[in-house]
Structure 1
């Protein structure tokens, strides 16, 4: 059993070897690739999942105050329905839905005159994402105010800087005590 180095002497019998191992591993990986490719192209329905949590809404739309009974969607406009592992450099995230602000907040908002502009009746809601349709009992009777939209997007009180990477509308329905929001935020 003479060893001259730290390497044990080899027996005359050889195992599968490195080439056999790499060939086997390569074959397994190649066999799995068609399945993986199919997964990458399979649409993802997460963008159609109605959310009811209010935390993200409170973060984004602080001026709306405390919200309840929220039903909304949040998704990447350009990546909706696609499985992505890395977001694009300029993702456009849409937050659209309906929620119930506190009654006193809603009344105070409708009585306010942001930038001297009164709330006025809005055109009936246009196309509403199908998953949200059951939560919109009324398509008419909504009130809007462009200056209010800018305040909510700015996230602050009068005079707050408007987020120039956001665009959206906020409609109020006094009779139903609801706020409808549809906003897109650009992340880059």
Structure 2
């Protein structure tokens, strides 16, 4: 009688390998809820207070302190992901304190360049950040200032596909940022 493609000894080995493969995949699916690029289902809602990632991207702003911000993939936030998307749109949104007098200097530079700042309102504030928005802040905005902060430069890790707004409050020397970076 002819032997099939697999003998008695190979079948248990193949079945064992299949079981290991499937259990590893199940473990990977479970891990996807906690360790996706956005940190899992709810980690995109975790307020961060580490200034270094912001300093790398917004080096023009100078020394940042007391940051409260969120960073997450706009398209994947709150979803279980095992395989990263080919293009990621990363939103960085929040506030930070600037060195004393930094906002006054930015406003004066804007006037000198004929690029004045205009009053602006905060919009689309994520719920976890609402408590960190300074009460009574008088926000000012300039599109030219946005372009300067997002421009690639020696002290800034910004890619060419960045878009966003920076609002300044002179009384408190605070910046509010809401940016999206495209990583392809």
State the TM bucket, normalised to the shorter chain: 0.7 to 0.9
Partner of 1:5: none
TM-score in terms of structure 2 length: 0.77
Alpha carbons 1:52, 1:69 under 8 Å: kept: yes
CA root-mean-square deviation? 2.7
Q: How many residues align?
A: 168
**CA–CA distance in structure 2, aligned partners of residues 61 and 126 of structure 1:** 21
Q: 3-state DSSP class of the match of 1:97?
A: strand
Deviation at 1:53, TM superposition (A): 1.1
Matches within 5 A, 1:161-176: 164-176=160-172
Task: Specify every segment of 5 or more residues in structure 1 that has no aligned partner in the other structure, as ranges.
Answer: 1-15
Indicate the structure (1 or 2) with the bigger Cα radius of gyration: 1
Q: 1:178 aligns with which of 174, 177, 184?
A: 174
**CA–CA distance in structure 1, aligned partners of residues 33 and 71 of structure 2:** 21
Deviation at 1:65, TM superposition (A): 0.3
Alpha carbons 1:63, 1:155 under 8 Å: kept: no
Partner of 1:19: 11
Question: How far does the alpha carbon of each residue in 1:54-99 deviate from its partner, in whole angstroms, 9 at most, with x for none?
Answer: 1111111111100000011111111112233432222111111100
Alpha carbons 1:61, 1:155 under 8 Å: kept: no
**CA–CA distance in structure 2, aligned partners of residues 113 and 36 of structure 1:** 51
**CA–CA distance in structure 2, aligned partners of residues 20 and 151 of structure 1:** 64
Question: How far does the alpha carbon of each residue in 1:122-150 deviate from its partner, in whole angstroms, 9 at most, with x for none?
Answer: 1x212211111110023651011111010
**CA–CA distance in structure 2, aligned partners of residues 58 and 128 of structure 1:** 21
**CA–CA distance in structure 1, aligned partners of residues 124 and 48 of structure 2:** 19
Q: 3-state DSSP class of the match of 1:186?
A: strand
Partner of 2:84: 87
Alpha carbons 2:72, 2:91 under 8 Å: kept: yes
**CA–CA distance in structure 1, aligned partners of residues 12 and 152 of structure 2:** 62
Task: Specify every segment of 5 or more residues in structure 2 that has no aligned partner in the other structure, as ranges.
Answer: 1-7, 35-39
In structure 2, the CA distance between the partners of 1:32 and 1:113, relative to structure 1 (3 Å rule), is closer
Q: 3-state DSSP class of the match of 1:184?
A: strand
In structure 2, the CA distance between the partners of 1:20 and 1:69, relative to structure 1 (3 Å rule), is same
Partner of 2:37: none
Partner of 1:70: 67
Q: 3-state DSSP class of the match of 1:147?
A: helix
Partner of 2:147: 150
